[in-house]
């Protein structure tokens, strides 16, 4: 069986929804950000500060490669994963179902306010808008896109389950 890969901007709910979806499907769960931190023994901000973003992106690519070889796994990705061509090629291998979680800027600001664990998160509406706009074309390459603004994590999981069932037919 295929993996379900969740992509989307910071704060769209990939980690929370992914964990729940994995439970519902009885799949394994991998969160790329958490795995990178665990392996490095450093938090993401520490890693950016010590070794730079480039280093983080290399670790991220390694983990994407590795996890895509699994089956029956829900993979919650970091917000920057689909921005890189190499990652897209690895993810779009025909064995993964790619689901994008989308949220508008006020929702994202609300869900991420006070978080100090995301170095690229600027608490600035315009910067956030610019980054989101730049990334949108890549997020939009997903197989299925859900607007999450008005939905609870459980409702999002249910929508994904409906989509998966429909795909099977």
Ligand X SMILES: O=C(O)C1=C[C@@H](O)[C@@H](O)[C@H](O)C1
Per CB under 6 A, residues contacting ligand ATP are: 8, 10-16, 33, 76, 78-79, 111, 118, 148, 151-153, 156
Q: Outline where the chain has alpha helix (H).
A: 14-25, 32-40, 44-51, 53-68, 85-91, 105-112, 125-139, 153-168
Q: Was 167 annotated as part of a binding site?
A: no
**Closer Cβ to ligand ATP, 78 or 82, answer by number:** 78
- Positions 112 through 151 that interact with ligand X (CB under 6 A): 118-120
Q: Among the candidate windows 16-24, 66-74, 76-84, 152-160, which touches ligand X by CB under 6 A? A: 76-84
By CB under 6 A, the residues from 77 to 116 that bind ligand X are: 78-80
Cβ pair 11, 103 in contact under 8 A = yes
- How many other C-beta atoms are found inside a 10 Å radius of the C-beta of residue 116? 8
Q: Which residues contact 147 (CB under 8 A, 6 or more apart)?
A: 102, 103
Is 8 one of the binding residues for ligand X (CB under 6 A)?
A: no
Judged by CB under 5 A, which of 3, 12, 15, 112 binds Mg ion? Answer: 15
CB 112 within 8 A of CB 10: yes
Q: Which stretch binds Mg ion (CB under 5 A): 11-19, 52-60, 96-104, 156-164?
A: 11-19
Q: Min. distance of Cβ 78 from ligand X in angstroms?
A: 2
Cα distances from 36 to residues 41, 137, 140, 156, 163, in angstroms, run 8, 25, 25, 26, 30
* Annotated binding-site members for substrate: 33, 57, 79, 135
- Binding residues for ligand X, rule: CB under 6 A, are 10, 33, 44, 78-80, 118-120
């Amino acid at each position: 069986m295929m993996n379900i890969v969740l992509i989307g901007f910071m704060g769209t709910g990939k980690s929370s929804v992914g964990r729940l979806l994995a439970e519902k499907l009885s799949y394994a769960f991998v969160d790329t950000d958490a795995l990178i931190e665990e392996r490095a023994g450093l938090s993401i901000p520490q890693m950016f500060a010590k070794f730079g973003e480039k280093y983080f992106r290399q670790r991220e690519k390694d983990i994407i490669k590795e996890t895509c070889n699994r089956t029956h796994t829900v993979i919650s990705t970091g917000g920057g994963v689909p921005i890189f061509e190499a990652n897209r090629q690895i993810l779009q291998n025909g064995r993964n179902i790619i689901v994008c979680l989308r949220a508008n800027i006020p929702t994202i600001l609300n869900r991420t306010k006070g978080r100090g664990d995301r170095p690229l998160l600027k608490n600035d509406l315009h910067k956030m808008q610019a980054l989101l706009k730049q990334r949108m074309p890549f997020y939009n390459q997903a197989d299925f896109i859900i607007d999450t603004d008005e939905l609870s994590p459980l409702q999002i999981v249910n929508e994904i389950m409906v989509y998966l069932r429909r795909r099977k037919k």
